[in-house]
Amino acid sequence: MPLKVYNTLTRKKEDFVTMHGRRVNMFVCGITPYDHVHMGHAKTYVTFDMVARYLRHKGYRVFYVQNVTDVEDRLIARMLDSGRDWRDLVAEFITEYMAVMEALNVTAVNHFAWATDYIPEIIEQIKGLVKKGIAYAVDGDVFYDVTKFDGWGKLSGMIVEELRPGARVEVDKRKRSPADFALWKSQKPGEPAWDSPWGKGRPGWHIEDTAITVSIFGPQYDIHGGATELMFPHHEAEIAQAEALTGVKPFVRYWMHGGMLMIGGEEMHKSLGNFWAVPDALKLFDGEVLRFFFLNAHYRSPIDFSLEGMEEAKRSYQRLLDTYQLLSQSAKRGSDGPMTADAVLDTAVTAAKTKFEEAMDDDFNTREAIAVIFALASQINRSFEAGVSKTAAQRCLGQIDIFGDVLGLFQKVRRQGLVPTDALLDILVQIREEARKRKDFAVSDLIRDKLKEIGVTLEDAKEGVRWKLK
Ligand SMILES: [Zn+2]
């Protein structure tokens, strides 16, 4: 079955067909590093990390570029009211962003493109648009004339009439039509600026992305991702800029948008007092639990973030981790010979592999894919009761690790396996077994009780004693 991807532009699921064989060029709007990374960012970047991981799993060579908007209105506003240099703000918040992404196992980005590294390319694009009569300069500012582009509104389904600003927004009188947007902004006092044919100034937000992607990918590429909130006007403006400039349509083959992150049924907003910064959430929950929480819904669905929802996600994910730990111990130390439940487990693993890929091929349905893992986990637990050999456990673990790599889950429990804790616990279990054989119950009970104190419980099983981390 081919991979199907929901394309916002056509409003339907389409077969995924790349432009250049196994190569996939993918761009996702990055952050403006002026404030803390929030929960909406975390959801977006976990989503597209998963998308890139699954495409790679299917054998595509994904080149994933994310931009860093290191010059933009909000950053400059923060600079002016904090009195801090904009570069300091960028350094602080990009460092925080990278740390947060690491905690969420977000690792798929190949290249971060910084907007200020593309000023010459941005200026070239604006010059091109002015030359074609699509953009116009007024006292050091340059605007895009949306009436000159007949595809305006095709992504978001909006029309120019609807785009008239409300009464609360004052229209810049110098614009030819109210929806026109800035490509270049003249320097105001205290603002960072670069030289340009229109005088000193800085780029508008939308042109940064097309300058980056046209430079790196050329006039057309496979996937553009981002949050739904960016669809209008930001992504609409990107299409207008690139298609008017290069004449190549469509600029992007698949536009992918993640559903909104809600808090208590409302949009997250500083003004509503329901703003969640990711570093605060990571004090309460492990990054992998947060990742599980996001992936346990379809990426296009809105998600309602709540502490209760996170507690529930934590419990569910722990159930999978418990099974993972049992399985990895059996894969190391289970019995050699064939065991009663081997065949049943092998069949369950093969079926899970097929169902997992079917779910992921259906527009990256991670909710369904996780349900497949839960069903397999139940089968693993049942099989252990009947008895499973070491090799059957190894085959099953190999498959679960593939699922984990695609979803970016089970990464920490795997890494823990590499540190000696694992081996030390095994040694203690062995010593306790020796003590029990000698009927030295004082020693065996002491080991059991001391382990319990540090959160390790021992369980008797067919294959011997197993330990479990709480
Ligand atoms: Zn963007």
DSSP states of 161-220: GGGS--TTSPP-TTSSSTT-EEEEEEPPTT---B--TT-SEEE-HHHHHHHHHHHHH-S-
The strands making up 261-263's β-sheet, listed across from edge to edge, are 266-267, 261-263, 303-305
Domain-ending residue, one of 228, 258, 288: 258
181 with 237: CB under 8 angstroms? yes
For ligand 1, a single-atom ion, the residues with CB < 5 A are 29, 209
d(C-alpha 107, C-alpha 295), whole Å: 16
How much distance in Å is there from the Cα of 423 to the middle of ligand 1? 47
How much distance in Å is there from the Cα of 30 to the middle of ligand 1? 6
206 with 238: CB under 8 angstroms? yes
Q: Do residues 224 and 342 both lie within one domain?
A: no
Q: How far is CA 442 from CA 48, 402, 432, 445, in A?
A: 54, 43, 10, 5
Range of the domain at 339: 307-469
Instruction: Assess if residue 268 is contained within a domain.
Output: no
Report pTM.
0.89
How much distance in Å is there from the Cα of 411 to the middle of ligand 1? 30
Q: Give Dmax (Cα) for the chain.
A: 92
CATH of the domain at 212: 3.40.50.620
How much distance in Å is there from the Cα of 73 to the middle of ligand 1? 14
Q: Do residues 245 and 320 both lie within one domain?
A: no
Q: How many structural domains does the chain have?
A: 2
Q: What is the dihedral of CA 401, 404, 409, 411, to 10 degrees?
A: 30
Q: Do residues 248 and 322 both lie within one domain?
A: no
Q: Do residues 362 and 223 both lie within one domain?
A: no
**Residues in contact with 55: Cβ distance below 8 Å, sequence separation at least 6, in sequence order:** 3, 24, 26, 62
DSSP states of 382-416: HHHHH---HHHHHHHHHHHHHHHHHHT-SHHHHHH
DSSP-derived secondary structure letter, 235: I
How much distance in Å is there from the Cα of 442 to the middle of ligand 1? 65
In tens digits, the chain (470 residues) has pLDDT values of 799 999 999 999 999 999 999 999 999 999 999 999 999 999 999 999 999 999 999 999 999 999 999 999 999 999 999 999 999 999 999 999 999 999 999 999 999 999 999 999 999 999 999 999 999 999 999 999 999 998 898 998 875 555 555 544 567 889 998 889 999 999 999 899 999 999 999 999 999 999 999 999 999 999 999 999 999 999 999 999 999 999 999 999 999 999 999 998 888 877 777 889 999 999 999 999 999 999 999 999 999 999 999 999 999 999 999 999 999 989 988 888 888 899 999 999 999 999 999 999 999 999 999 999 999 999 999 999 899 999 999 999 999 999 999 999 999 998 876 556 777 888 899 999 999 999 999 999 999 998 898 888 888 777 788 888 77
How much distance in Å is there from the Cα of 175 to the middle of ligand 1? 23
Q: Which two tokens stand for residue 117?
A: 């590294």
Neighbours of 261 (CB within 10 A): 23
How much distance in Å is there from the Cα of 10 to the middle of ligand 1? 20
Distance of CA 41 to the CA centre of its chain: 8
First-to-final CA distance of the chain: 40
How much distance in Å is there from the Cα of 228 to the middle of ligand 1? 12
Strand partners, 7: 12
Instruction: Assess if residue 325 is contained within a domain.
Output: yes
Q: Do residues 392 and 455 both lie within one domain?
A: yes
140: phi then psi, degrees, rounded to nearest 5: 85, -10
Unique residue bearing structure tokens 């990374």: 37
62: phi then psi, degrees, rounded to nearest 5: -90, 125
Peptide bond into 250 cis (omega under 30): yes
Q: Do residues 254 and 323 both lie within one domain?
A: no
Helix/strand/coil for 82: helix
Q: Do residues 227 and 363 both lie within one domain?
A: no
Neighbours of 119 (CB within 10 A): 17
Q: Do residues 224 and 320 both lie within one domain?
A: no
Q: Do residues 348 and 230 both lie within one domain?
A: no
Q: Which two tokens stand for residue 372?
A: 């497949």
CATH of the domain at 464: 1.20.120.640
Instruction: Assess if residue 274 is contained within a domain.
Output: no
Instruction: Assess if residue 289 is contained within a domain.
Output: no
How much distance in Å is there from the Cα of 34 to the middle of ligand 1? 15
How much distance in Å is there from the Cα of 456 to the middle of ligand 1? 47
Q: How far is CA 392 from CA 139, 343, 413, in A?
A: 73, 8, 20
How much distance in Å is there from the Cα of 29 to the middle of ligand 1? 4
Q: Do residues 197 and 330 both lie within one domain?
A: no
Q: Is 253 left (phi over 0), alpha (psi -120 to 50) or beta?
A: alpha
**Residues in contact with 81: Cβ distance below 8 Å, sequence separation at least 6, in sequence order:** none
Instruction: Assess if residue 381 is contained within a domain.
Output: yes
Strand partners, 369: none
**Residue of 319, 326, 332, 285 whose CA lies nearest to 305:** 285
